[in-house]
């Protein structure tokens, strides 16, 4: 389970049902500080929370796709095949100069 708080003022929200070793938290706001905890959960119950990980989101970059017509071809009397080429802008990479923190998962006995 992941527990997240926005700007240390919003109540903590829990994201449960995660069964993988990684998870992408979506719908975050740009230029906003978030605090994350990880809590292990199994059929016995909940474990203690991890140390907090705090990070600030960067700029939101909208996907920029430009479609260019290339050609069309008649396949049958009722079907035309039209090929489009998509030109996608390269992604913008942001780097943060913060120390990296590793969250460790400890098994329950």
100 — pLDDT class (breaks 50, 70, 90): low
- What are 29-42's pLDDT values in tens digits? 888 888 888 888 88
Degrees, nearest 5: CA angle 97-27-54: 35
Domain chopping of the chain, boundaries: 2-62
CATH architecture for residues 2-62: Sandwich (2.60)
* Mean predicted lDDT score pLDDT of the chain: 71
The pTM score is: 0.52
Q: What is the pLDDT of residues 19-70, one digit of tens each?
A: 877 788 888 888 888 888 888 888 899 889 888 888 888 877 665 555 555 5
């Amino acid at each position: 389970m992941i527990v997240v708080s926005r700007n240390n003022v919003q109540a903590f929200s829990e994201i449960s049902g995660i069964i993988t070793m990684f998870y992408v938290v979506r719908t975050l706001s740009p230029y906003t500080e978030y605090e994350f905890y990880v809590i292990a959960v199994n059929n016995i119950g909940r474990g203690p929370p991890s140390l907090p990980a705090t990070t600030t989101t960067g700029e939101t970059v909208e996907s920029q796709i430009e479609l260019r017509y290339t050609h069309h071809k008649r396949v049958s009397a009722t079907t035309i095949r039209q090929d489009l080429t998509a030109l996608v802008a390269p992604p913008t990479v942001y780097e943060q100069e913060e120390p990296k923190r590793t969250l460790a998962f400890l098994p329950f006995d």
